[in-house]
Structure 1
Amino acid sequence: MEKGAVFPLFYLPNVEFFKTLKTYKEDDVLIEKLEHYPKQTFRNRAIIACPNGKLMLTVPVKKGDKKRVAYKDKRISNDDNWQHVHWLSLEASYRNSAYFEFYEDVFKPFYHKPYHFLFDFNIELLDVILSALKMPVTYNITSEYEKYGEEIIDFREDFDWRKPSEYVNKPYYQVFEDKIGAQNNLSIVDLLFNQGPQSKSFF
């Protein structure tokens, strides 16, 4: 394999994730599917801006597994109406943004159609976001879990929400900026809803 990178798959990834993905989009890009599902990561979390500051959206996952589960097999817990809550949060945060209505019909189905596996939900979202960004990326999904040599940059343990990132995105107008100040490196939907087709120029 030629040079490239292997990426984790997140829920509504942040701007830094897409900046990094853009850097490698001409190389071999792999999306990890078979890792043991790691807890407390962006794989089921996203951070948006709301009137009171940052808001973390978390996709609930099934608990009680007796052994470590592959990401591809990690089930979403639909006991609570989390999709409804997430969509209401997105509406409350971005209904007044310049491009929410432009993308509304693209994202809304993800919060009404039932999903059972987190990986399936996230990979479909990733494709929709890449299309919205007009950022074509040809990627392959891993068929086995492996350690890679120097020719493949491994980002699977990067983009940790618990660790401060040095990445700073280019400033752009945000709905609640006057109230809570500019928020850096939020979920890509914050950038999309505020800047629309120009989003890619901000990372």
Structure 2
Amino acid sequence: MENGAVFPLFYLPNVEFFKTLREQNKEQLFIEKQEHYPKQSSRNRTTIAGPNGKLQLTVPVQKGSNTHTAYKDVKISYADDWQRIHWLSLGTSYRSSAYFEFYEDDFRPFYEKKFNYLFDYNLELFHLLLKLLKMPLNFDFTDDYQKTYTDKNDFRESLNWKNQSSYQHKTYYQVFQDKYGYQNNLSVVDLLFSQGPQASRFF
């Protein structure tokens, strides 16, 4: 019998991530903190709708971070000015949306302040997103790493960007919809900047 759920910690997760969190909120929730860092995952990348189509934003990590490095010990690389690029990309993509300017001051510090560790950076962003989505959530962190769980729902891999999902959320107006058509299940910021305080009604 399942007794709780285990979630990964992603960078600006997609809409399905938060829908799943809300569905599991009656269970005891855990954020995976002890896993080894998996490369090419949503832990350091997200997808938004840009003026030229889907745009993937990736937080670079320092060289040497591999599958034998604990996720909580992975350091962010600032060899390239990725913060400026991400912030410019968000502004270019969403400044004409209904709520970008409303939330701009909440997100700006994440693209100005330097964070040492990817886990800490994602965690602070996660807290902000929960607040803006009005999703009160109590969770703990895993104490040790388990490859599989028999007593908990495990979402550590199923929600990753490389896994094709059939999830379809309610549609909402997107800035470049007339040009590219509706794009489903992007980063939740796409929904948030479009719908503001009503965002959670769409998943």
Structure 2 match to 1:44:
44
Tell me what 1:18 maps to.
18
2:53 alignment partner in structure 1 = 53
* Residue aligning to 1:174: 174
> Structure 2, unaligned stretches of length 5 or more?
none
The secondary structure found in structure 1 opposite 2:54 is strand
Tell me the equivalent position of 1:76. 76
Specify whether residues 64 and 149 from structure 1 end up closer, same or farther in structure 2 by C-alpha distance, changes over 3 A only. closer
Structural RMSD (CA): 1.5
Describe the superposition over 1:130-175 as per-residue Cα deviations: whole angstroms up to 9, x where unpaired.
0000001101111211245443101111123223211111100111
How far residue 2 of structure 1 moved from its aligned partner, in angstroms, is 7.2
Decide whether the 8 Å contact of 2:2 with 2:153 is kept in 1: no
- Summarize the Cα distance change of 1:71–1:27 in structure 2 as closer, same or farther, 3 Å threshold: same
SS of the equivalent of 2:157 reads coil
Rounded to whole Å, the distance in 2 between the matches of 1:55 and 1:149 is 34
Q: Which residue of 2 aligns with 1:198?
A: 198
Q: List structure 1 segments (4+ residues) > 4 angstroms apart after TM superposition.
A: none
Q: What is the distance in 1 between the residues matched to 2:171 and 2:65?
A: 42
Q: Equivalent pairs: percent with the same residue?
A: 61
Q: Secondary structure at the match of 1:49?
A: strand
CA distance in 2, matches of 1:19, 1:145: 25
The question of whether the paired residues in 1 share the 8 Å contact of 2:38 and 2:67 is answered with: no
1:94 is aligned to 94
Contact 1:7 1:156 in 2 (8 A): yes
SS in 1 for 2:43: helix
TM-score after normalising by structure 1 = 0.96
- Distance in 1, matches of 2:15 and 2:85, equals 23
Q: Secondary structure at the residue paired with 1:92?
A: helix
Q: How far apart in 2 are the matches of 1:64 and 1:2?
A: 36
Distance 1:36 1:166 in 2: 28
Tell me what 2:140 maps to.
140
What are the within-5 Å matches in structure 2 for residues 1-16 of structure 1? Answer: 3-16=3-16
Shift of 1:51: 1.1
Alignment deviations for residues 54-103 of structure 1 (CA, whole Å, 9 cap, x no partner): 00000000123587100000110011110010000000000000000111
How far, CA to CA, are the matches of 2:149 and 2:102 in structure 1?
Answer: 42
Residues 2, 28 of structure 1: 8 Å contact kept: no
What amino acid maps onto 1:50 in structure 2?
G
Separation in structure 2 between the aligned mates of residue 138 and residue 114 of structure 1, nearest angstrom: 27
SS in 2 for 1:120: helix
Q: How many residues align?
A: 203
Q: Please list every run of 5 or more consecutive structure 1 residues that lacks an aligned counterpart in the other structure.
A: none
* More off after superposition, 159-168 vs 43-52: 159-168
CA distances 1:90-120 after superposition (whole Å, capped 9, x unpaired): 0000000000011111111000000110000
Range with greater deviation from structure 2 (70-79 or 163-172): 163-172
Tell me which amino acid in the other structure corresponds to 1:97: S
